[in-house]
């Protein structure tokens, strides 16, 4: 099957926006320690670039979750594949995500993390698709709001590929390409 990727958000736009968001985070957490939690694998590029712009005492931790059921329609029941290495009890925590779509995965994940007694927990996402929201999640930092399109690149995959693209692109499959 033929696949085509068109640039939606360029490398330059991404780094410019990350600088702005990092500025807000630096101001909000001034003088504090912060634990960044990367939700693997999609959030990895974003977390690395964001972390480099933070002028705070930052610790990095990683979590890998999978939702039960079909991949495209997340059920919101989440299985932890890899848990955090360290406790978040009493800590300021920022969850770093690639994209919030239905919100199911994240609201479940936030419930799990809140039970561990962090001092504060906030959410930072590279992309937000608000039109697809099923669960209300409070997103504190959003880099880009996008329409309901399937995107790849900069951490986001199609069948585990395209994560290494330096930009965010819209994925088009061959049957759609032919109709244009
Ligand atoms: P949610 O539970 O919010 O519906 O699911 C979010 C997850 O679905 C994301 O972490 C991501 O793995 C996947 N996802 C949602 N929309 C897209 C998209 O446009 N492209 C890619 N590659 N993954 C997506
Ligand atoms: Mg994700
Ligand atoms: Mg995926």
The protein residue with its alpha carbon nearest to ligand 1, atom 15, reads 101
Q: Is residue 58 part of a domain?
A: yes
H helices, E strands: number in the chain:
4, 9
Q: Is residue 170 part of a domain?
A: no
Judged by its nearest atom, the ligand closest to the C-alpha of residue 42 is: 2
Ligand 1 atom nearest the C-alpha of 152 is 22
Q: Is residue 37 part of a domain?
A: yes
The pLDDT tens digits for 145-166 are: 999 999 999 999 999 999 999 9
Q: Give the distance (Å) from ligand 3 centre to CA of residue 115.
A: 26
Q: Is residue 45 part of a domain?
A: yes
Q: Residue 66: its pLDDT value, please?
A: 83
Is it the case that residue 103 has pLDDT exceeding 90? yes
The pLDDT tens digits for 56-68 are: 999 999 999 987 6
Q: Give the distance (Å) from ligand 2 centre to CA of residue 97.
A: 5
Is it the case that residue 176 has pLDDT exceeding 60? no
Q: Residue 180: its pLDDT value, please?
A: 46
Q: Residue 177: its pLDDT value, please?
A: 53
Q: Is residue 157 part of a domain?
A: no
Q: For 37-41, 63-67, 100-104, 109-113, which range has the lowest pLDDT when averaged over its residues?
A: 63-67
**Active site includes 101?**
yes
Q: Is residue 127 part of a domain?
A: yes
Ligand 1 atom nearest the C-alpha of 146 is 19
Judged by its nearest atom, the ligand closest to the C-alpha of residue 160 is: 3
Q: Is residue 6 part of a domain?
A: no
CA distance 26 to 167: 25
The pLDDT tens digits for 5-56 are: 999 999 999 999 999 999 999 999 999 999 999 999 999 999 999 999 999 9
CA distance 46 to 11: 12
Establish whether the linkage from the previous residue to 11 is cis, with ω within 30° of 0: no
The pLDDT tens digits for 115-146 are: 999 999 999 999 999 998 999 999 999 999 99
21: Cα within 13 Å, side-chain hemisphere: 25
Question: Which CATH number do you get for residue 30?
Answer: 3.40.50.2020
Q: Is residue 66 part of a domain?
A: yes
Secondary structure in 3-state letters for 64-118: EEEECCCCCCCCCCEEEEECCCCCCCCCEEEEEEEEECCCHHHHHHHHHHHCCCC
Is it the case that residue 179 has pLDDT exceeding 60? no
Q: Give the list of residues 6+ apart from residue 65 with CB closer than 8 angstroms, or none.
A: 39, 78, 79, 80, 81, 105, 109
């Amino acid at each position: 099957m033929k696949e085509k990727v068109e640039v939606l958000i360029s490398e330059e736009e991404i780094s410019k926006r990350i600088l702005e968001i990092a500025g807000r985070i630096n101001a909000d957490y001034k003088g504090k320690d912060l634990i960044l939690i990367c939700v693997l694998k999609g959030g990895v590029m974003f977390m690395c670039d964001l972390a480099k712009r933070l002028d705070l005492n930052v610790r990095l931790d990683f979590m890998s979750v999978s939702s039960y059921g079909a991949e495209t329609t997340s059920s919101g029941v989440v299985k932890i594949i890899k848990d955090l290495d360290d406790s978040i009890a009493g800590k300021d925590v920022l969850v770093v995500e690639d994209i919030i779509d239905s919100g199911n995965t994240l609201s479940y994940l936030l419930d799990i993390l809140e039970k561990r007694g962090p001092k504060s927990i906030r959410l930072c996402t590279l992309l937000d698709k608000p039109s697809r929201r099923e669960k209300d999640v409070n997103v504190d930092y959003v880099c880009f709001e996008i329409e309901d399109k399937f995107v790849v690149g900069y951490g986001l995959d199609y069948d585990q590929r395209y994560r290494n693209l330096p930009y965010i692109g819209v994925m088009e499959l061959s049957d759609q390409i032919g109709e244009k």
